[in-house]
């Protein structure tokens, strides 16, 4: 069991090239697992966590509904945004500046073989991070991700999640709104859920800007504790 995770902060990077890079790392782990099984070897499989910020982009999961994108191609261009159908779970979401996107590419056989537990741990890392800023958050039944005001008319999502897993190897991940422009969410029905708002950490704190590097360090601390990992 290799519980070491290689952390890579990619800075600002195009969605498509990041997706291709994820696929490359994902395939490398899967291929090594197949080789280990075939050759009866025990070469340790690597794990990665990518942090990245994307230029404006909308992505639609494999079970998503295209009608949840409320823009035409021309309107997308006018807003300087791109759109991709991708191979994760979940519906439509937005990525852009001011958002911390995390892509854990883990061999869960190094940790535990339970996708449900994996998603709950990702949520918990964000919930614990937000608590350090005095922001109470939690889960909403049947709606993966992290929410504020659950069970009230003011329920709002602060972190979206969507993952893919094969042979216990994960990719895609979470998107935490820290200083994001909420106007871009008006162009979609976020995660296909009507009538619920989206928020950001800086809005909740009533400040102009939150230090994103500090938020990342807090996420890493909680990720390390939950997964009993080492970066």
> According to the annotation, is 95 in a ligand binding site?
yes
> According to the annotation, is 88 in a ligand binding site?
yes
> According to the annotation, is 161 in a ligand binding site?
yes
CA distance 62 to 64: 6
CA distance 24 to 137: 34
> According to the annotation, is 107 in a ligand binding site?
no
DSSP three-state, residue 119: helix
> According to the annotation, is 175 in a ligand binding site?
yes
DSSP three-state, residue 150: coil
Contact predicate 165/173, CB 8 Å: no
Residues carrying an active site annotation: 191
- Looking at residue 161, the DSSP 8-state letter turns out to be E
Per-residue tokens: 13? 């990077």
> According to the annotation, is 162 in a ligand binding site?
yes
* Residue closest to 187 by CA, chosen among 76, 100, 55: 76
> According to the annotation, is 91 in a ligand binding site?
yes
CA distance 41 to 25: 20
> According to the annotation, is 18 in a ligand binding site?
no
CA distance 214 to 140: 26
> According to the annotation, is 158 in a ligand binding site?
no
Annotated binding residues, written as ranges, equal: 88-95, 160-162, 173-175
Annotated binding residues for substrate, written as ranges, equal: 88-95, 160-162, 173-175
């Amino acid at each position: 069991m290799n519980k070491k995770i290689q952390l890579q902060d990619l800075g600002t990077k195009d969605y498509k090239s990041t997706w291709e890079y994820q696929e490359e790392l994902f395939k490398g782990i899967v291929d090594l697992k197949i080789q280990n099984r075939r050759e009866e070897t025990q070469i340790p499989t690597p794990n990665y966590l990518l942090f990245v910020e994307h230029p404006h982009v909308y992505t639609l999961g494999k079970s998503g509904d295209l009608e949840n994108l409320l823009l035409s191609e021309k309107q997308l261009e006018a807003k300087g945004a791109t759109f991709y159908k991708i191979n994760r779970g979940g519906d439509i979401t937005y990525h852009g500046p001011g958002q911390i996107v995390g892509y854990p590419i883990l061999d869960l056989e190094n940790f535990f073989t339970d996708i449900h537990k994996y998603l709950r741990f990702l949520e918990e890392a964000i919930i614990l991070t937000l608590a350090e800023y005095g922001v109470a958050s939690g889960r909403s039944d049947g709606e993966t991700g992290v929410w504020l005001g659950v069970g009230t008319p003011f329920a709002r999502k602060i972190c979206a999640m969507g993952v893919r897993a094969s042979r216990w190897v994960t990719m895609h991940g979470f998107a935490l709104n820290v200083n994001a422009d909420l106007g871009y969410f008006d162009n979609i029905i976020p995660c296909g859920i009507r009538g619920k708002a989206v928020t950001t950490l800086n809005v909740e704190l009533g400040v102009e800007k939150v230090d994103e590097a500090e938020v990342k360090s807090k996420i890493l601390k909680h990720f390390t504790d939950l997964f009993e990992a080492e970066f």
